[in-house]
Structure 1
Amino acid sequence: MQHFIPFFSISDISAKLHGHLAALERCAVPASGKLAGSLIRFGIFEIDTALNELRNNGIKVKLQEQPFQVLLALVEHPQQLVTRSELKNHLWPADTYVDFDQGLNRAVAKLRDALDDTAEQPVYIQTIARKGYRFLAPVEHIEAPVGRIAVPTLRGSPWAVAGAMAVLVGVLAVLFLRFGQSNPRTQAQIRSMAVLPFENISGDPQQEFLADGITDALITELAQMRGVSVLSRSSVMSYKARQVSLSQIARTLKVDAVVEGTTLRSDGTVRITVQLISALTGQHLWAQTYEQSFNSIIALQDNIAKDVAEQIHADFQLGHASNLETNGIAYEAYLRGRSYVFAGFDTPQTLRRAQHYFEQAIQADPNFAPAYSGLAQSYVLLSEFRWLSPNDAYRPAREAIQKALQLNPMIGEAHTTLGWLSWRHDWDVQTAEKEYRYGCELSPNDVDAHQALTWFLAWRGRTAEALAQISRIRQIDPAQALPLDEAGIYYHQRNYKSLVDVGEKSVALRPDFWVSHYFLGVGYEGSGQLSAAISEYKKAVEMSQGDTDPTAQLAHGYAVAGERAAAEQILDRLQKDAKTRYVSPYMIATIYAGLDEKDKAFYFLEKAYAERSTDLPYFLKADLRLDQIRSDPRLQDLFRRMRLPN
């Protein structure tokens, strides 16, 4: 719209605005009803029921219709309980089918945002557990000033009204673009941002994947901005259906601004509203509504990301510059696949569901590059967590990633995936580092890309560079700078005292994440605390649904603790399992090494070499489970054949 501005002078705009207001006046009559002209005050706020406005010290506060209706219901009965059932009847007709509890919770959360109130220390809205809400503040009803203008109700020709409204909106937009844009000095202060989970306002829980997908897509796109840190998906998704105020979220996440919005899908179109809000002042810096065919939603997402970047004057290079469109079937399948990857990337059930949806997306659109990238990622994760053999995972992963990059070489996550394949399967260290760094270059604010490079550099023994990547992660997203990122460094240094320290911190932060317990156990075992190590290994085995790495680590712990029978029991079970599912031969080798059966250990190490096990390059140099065979010339020969530094 910027190109319209030079064609209008102030006098032009004034004349057009006066004319179209007159047109609207001819099509309008005053509103009527008992609420017309009513003012309600409490604290620093004022409700104008005639204009349907909430004002803070005279300044209008943006509030959607449902939260506004909740507010009206509460202030009508101050200091009294208003039940959830009463609010349900007030907000939704009897024949409406909607997740009422979730809808009311969101409405109350948005209302608290507007009032800068909290559930923990309420000033205005008190939650009465399992019953409803009570409005705490004194309420004052004030008679409206004489001569106050009521909201007009339009009448007459609908097309005349629509035309007058459209031109009026256009004129006001020109005024805004020319004179009302935010102060560039204020916007220049935005150096960190959180994209909060978008709200699905369709009332259909089956459409949650769309809201989550839009959130994820915007985070991915905006992560390409230079000079602005964008928090990762992991940091923000805990605020879905949040019960805390925007100001509190901003303080917790330590960001300068937040982006929030809603999604509504209807037939073949999707409507997305987006708001940019200052964390410092709570001011709405910018808002926009987008509506487009669902088939063009990727281009729509790109436009939203460009607009947000423009509002904060950020340098923005779009990574998905081609293949902007796909059909609705393909994109819906792709978003569902992404949702399963994020729901549980270390469990086989969710990864296979993700794989299924990515394959559906490719079938619906064979030229949709992100679907190939997602499919390759699902194969890599299935291989990394040993739910699929290297032989079954590598070929389809390699083919999918090559196709993705052929269609669009600018997808950062595809280069990160290629880096993993080059490192862990091809044993090609130089290519791996090049791809990892290119992934970070294409998506400079992508925490996942920097974490992948961190673990690779830690494995290479380049501690200073790995620590620099961790510092970069802390700059991008303080909430994702977990102590666990340092675990890879201390693991490969065999610095078990420091590994215990970061392991204990990681378990305190994420007690339900098996990898934290795993590294803490390794730290304990390396420090000679076998009883504590075995306890942590047991937790890791249970939480990981029997991943063979912590299982083998537990067996090794039993072996070196002198509990040979317990170690052999685990070994027997794994070898029986290997007849029906993939079990990494490297992990079996580590148990035999712990049992001091060297020939059997090397037999399974050779099997791992023959299948190009992804475990070999990562573990071989530093794994304490191999200490009892580390001086054997056969291990040195394996290093030589793999072309790995010893």
Structure 2
Amino acid sequence: MDGPEPHSREERSGSRTSDRLDSWKEIAAYFKRDQRTVRRWEESEGLPVHRHQHKSRAAIFAYKSELDAWWDNGRQRLEGDAQTTAARGTRRLIWPAAAAGILLVVGGMFARHWLRDRSIRAHVQSIAVLPLANLSQDPGQDYLADGLTEALTTNLGKLSALRVISRTSTAQYKGTKKSIPEIARELHVDALVEGAVMRSGDRVRITAQLIEAPADRHVWAETYDRDVRDVLALQADVARAIAVQIRGNLSSIPAPHEAMPLNHEVYELYLKGRYARDEGSEDGLKLAFEYFRQALEKDPQYAPAYAGLADCYAHLPFYSETRPAEAFPKAKAAALKALQLDQTLAEAHASMAYVETYYDWNWPGAEAEFRRALELDPNYAEAPLGRVEEARAELKRAQELDPLSLLVQANSGVISYFGRQYDQAIQELRQINRLDPKFSVPYWGLGLCYEQMGVYEEAVTQLQKAIDLSGRGANGIASLGHAYGLAGRRGEALKILLELEERAKKSYVSSYQIALVYLGLHRNDEALKQLENAYQERSTLLTYLKMDPRVDPLRSDPRFEDLLRRIGLTHQSAPL
């Protein structure tokens, strides 16, 4: 276990003032650990930290000379503990190099490490990788720490019979002061990985620790120091070392399969693209496009960048007013190129599944692509759209992998709505309201449920709350217009219809949304005409046509049945 060795003795022999570290951040950087680790050391190992008596508890400082002495004494004590563990029967720390003469050589580098009783292998069925701390003192390097966190999560996901929590849930613990047991309880996991990343020029250092969560006990830790050009091998090596502790073999995590060395500038652009994409906004997607394109300019054969482009294009119609015909063909082309270069990219298969679902309406093809994505990445949290009971089973799995995602939880209520289980949907959506009253999706779902139950005024109230929180997007106001029509508030429904039609002259509005308002006004012929327009547009919303209760008044019309047939929704593998 590396300590503060890089600091020279000359540095430590200066004045008492220069010898002092004045924050947890400085102490953590001195030890090349994250703040949570050094705080834990103070509580459990007696790390010598001082507090200003006239200030708050948070105002702390420490002296390097005292830390050095503590570190040296601690190392001797820990080595002594390893030799006497069998006699005492207490928790043990093993130094493999000293106790057994074992050298762990990863990529030609000796990594000193310590670990606890290997019985953890029998107990770890679930794990979460907490956001790696960026110790570079440069916020511009956050993308690297986040990218390596995601890569480590993905690699651990390849271990059989191990549930790995999605980064969407773990990202919420970035900078948290919660304890390890508390985090583990919230995520329902047996073990946690935490650590830090430090970038200095062309060198990258990763410190990773495996912690048995219930007891908050460190099982293993290593520090890796590599050239940034070796970052792919580095992230795989960390995952494989953790796999040894959990499963006892290296073969569980495959080594990187790239045949040629990767240009580190290409990989950094790719990580920046993913970082921007994960913002979940239209601006973030636009920035991600730019980074992925720059990566491909430098290396036109880099498959993950094509997969990133495909993912951005596939999601663009959901984040912007982009027409489906302007996005999905590009998503398909990028995904096919990615798969031509590398058939093992789960993300590219998932993007193909989105295209097959929302644009090509090829339901067997969509299901096959989703299944292939799950085979390649068993912890992929995206769930295919299927029949209600199948969708509910897939969603349960997604909730296990992403337990803190409010959107995943909200989808449970939406599935109940599509299954006409309105009381259950309301119960599920109300629960999310209590978790986050400012999250708009549950209000929208509640509005749809109350509308189908004939409680129109309450439906209007809930839909208006959703609009107040999320803005006047087409989906929200179209749903409100439909509810106004059913509630007999014809004038207000017509105002929304006019608003949508005027907006459609300037930017894309799905004709499906306009059809909904006509349905609320009981003007079914106009609604059918708008649905035919939506068919010509390849509107993504037609995917839900077979299951949406709001179009029930049209189901007996032969024109509607013909539309379902042309979309492929009469196929046995189609949704519902």
TM above 0.5, yes or no, is: yes
Give the residue type in structure 2 aligned to 1:642. I
Q: Does 1:622 align with 2:547?
A: yes
Query: Are 2:305 and 1:371 aligned?
Result: yes
> Residue 266 of structure 1 aligns with which residue?
200
**1:334 and 2:266 aligned:** no
User: Are the equivalent residues in 2 in contact too, given 1:229–1:477 (CA < 8 A)?
Assistant: no
Alpha-carbon distance in 1 for matches of 2:514, 2:255: 43
Asked if the contact 1:427/1:617 (under 8 Å) is kept, the reply is yes
Kindly indicate whether residue 48 of structure 2 is the aligned counterpart of residue 112 of structure 1: no
* Matching of residue 551 in structure 1 with residue 477 in structure 2: yes
Cα shift readout 1:463-492 (whole Å, capped 9, x = no counterpart): 1x3333344345545445954242243232
Note the C-alpha offset of 1:565.
2.2
Q: Counterpart of 2:391? A: 466
What TM-score do the two structures reach when normalised by structure 1?
0.72
Assess, with a 3 A threshold, how the Cα gap between structure 1 residues 576 and 282 changes in structure 2: closer, same or farther: same
Partner residue in 2 for 1:501: 427
CA distance in 2, matches of 1:511, 1:272: 38
Per the normalisation by structure 2, the TM-score is 0.80
Q: Once the two structures are superposed, what CA deviation does each residue of 1:434-487 show, in whole Å capped at 9, x if it has no partner?
A: 1111111211122x23xx22xx12xx34x1x33333443455454459542422
Structure 1 residue 398, shift from structure 2 partner: 0.4
Tell me how far apart the structure 1 counterparts of residues 36 and 345 of structure 2 sit (CA, whole Å).
36
Map of 1:46 onto structure 2: none
Amino acid at match of 1:113: R
Instruction: Using the TM superposition, give the Cα deviation of residue 240 of structure 1 relative to its aligned residue in structure 2, in angstroms.
Output: 1.0
Change (3 A) 1:149 1:566: closer
Counterpart AA for 2:284: T
Higher-Rg member (1/2): 1
Residues 355-403 of structure 1 deviation map (CA, whole Å, 9 limit, x = unaligned): 2222222222212211111111111111234531111001110011111
Structure 2 alignment gaps of length 5 or more = 7-15, 61-65, 77-94, 105-112, 571-575
Return the alpha-carbon distance in structure 2 between the equivalents of residues 435 and 303 of structure 1.
Answer: 29
Q: Distance in 2 between matches of 1:435 and 1:424?
A: 13
Judged with a 3 Å threshold, the aligned counterparts in structure 2 of structure 1 residues 275 and 531 are, in CA distance, closer, same or farther, namely: same
| Structure 1 position 102, deviation (Å) | 11
Q: CA RMSD in A?
A: 3.7
Q: Which residue of 1 aligns with 2:235?
A: 301
Q: Shift in Å at residue 111 of structure 1?
A: 3.6
Mind listing any 5+ residue stretches in structure 1 that lack a counterpart? Answer: 1-60, 67-85, 118-123, 136-140, 152-168
State the shift of 1:182 in Å. 4.8
Instruction: Answer whether contact 1:322 1:408 (CA < 8 A) is retained.
Output: no
1:433 aligns with 2:367: yes
Query: Pick from 276, 279, 292: which aligns with 2:210?
Result: 276
For 1:586 and 1:149, how far apart are their aligned partners in 2?
68
Given that 1:594 and 1:626 are in contact with CA atoms closer than 8 Å, whether structure 2 keeps it comes out as no
Q: In structure 2, do the counterparts of structure 1 residues 334 and 536 end up closer, same or farther at CA, with 3 Å as the change threshold?
A: farther
Matched-pair contact (CA < 8 Å) for 2:166–2:402: yes
Which residue, out of 328, 331, 336, partners 1:402?
336
Go from structure 1 to structure 2 and tell me whether the alpha carbon gap of 1:150 and 1:512 turns closer, same or farther (over 3 Å shift): closer
Q: How many residues align?
A: 517
Residues 390 and 614, structure 1, Cα contact 8 Å, conserved in 2? yes
- Aligned residue type for 1:342: D
Cα drift, residue 316 of structure 1: 2.7
Q: How much has 1:568 moved relative to structure 2?
A: 2.0
Conserved? CA contact 1:487–1:519, under 8 Å? yes
Matched, 1:640 2:565: yes
| 1:509-537 alpha-carbon deviations (Å, 9 max, x no partner) | 24333322221221121122222222222
Measured at CA, do residues 479 and 247 of structure 1 come closer, stay the same or move farther in structure 2, by a change above 3 Å?
A: same
Q: Percent identity?
A: 36
Question: Which residue of 2 is the match for residue 359 of structure 1?
Answer: 293
SS in 2 for 1:562: coil
In 2, Cα distance between the equivalents of 1:88 and 1:521?
62
What's the counterpart of residue 252 of structure 2? 316
Indicate the residue corresponding to 1:565 in structure 2. Answer: 491
User: 2 CA distance for matches of 1:149 and 1:535?
Assistant: 63
Distance 1:640 1:373, change over 3 A: same
Deviation at 1:234, TM superposition (A): 1.8
CA distance in 2, matches of 1:471, 1:360: 38
